[in-house]
Amino acid sequence: MKLLCASDAIVEGKSHGLAFHGLKLVAIRRDGQVYVYKNRCPHRGVALEWQENEFLDASASLIQCATHGALFLIESGECVAGPCEGQSLTPIACHENQDGIWMTSSEND
């Protein structure tokens, strides 16, 4: 396991970009649960954010690709609207404890 960040770095209802051993990630806390994905749209492989740490749509209920406007479910990463509909963001397995948010997968790319 590898420590991604302190728990308080991911605020409820907000998104946060992380760089970790060459991986660009996005983390979102929703209803107390933390979701982490590779920061890469499946349509063209571009970064998702339109501004630093800004990955969510105006309602803060979906992840939005700044390049194409594709919308992804926070809980699953599935694209529900846009050019990559039916595809998904790549999830990063993680868990949270009193020491922070930990990556449990062995992603290296």
Alpha helices, H only, 2-83: none
Question: In the predicted model, what is the mean pLDDT of residues 37-61?
Answer: 94
In whole angstroms, give the CA distance from residue 34 to residue 19. Answer: 16
Topology of domain 2-103 in CATH is Rieske Iron-sulfur Protein (2.102.10)
Summarize pLDDT for 50-83 with one digit per residue, the tens: 899 999 999 999 999 999 999 999 999 999 999 9
Q: Are 51 and 11 in contact (CB under 8 A)?
A: no
Task: Quote the pLDDT of residue 109.
Answer: 42
**3-state DSSP call for residue 7?**
helix
Torsion sign, CA atoms 102, 104, 108, 109 = negative
Rg over alpha carbons for the chain, rounded to the nearest Å, is: 13
pLDDT digits (tens, 9 = 90+) for 76-102: 999 999 999 999 999 999 999 999 999
Break the chain into its structural domains and give their ranges. Answer: 2-103
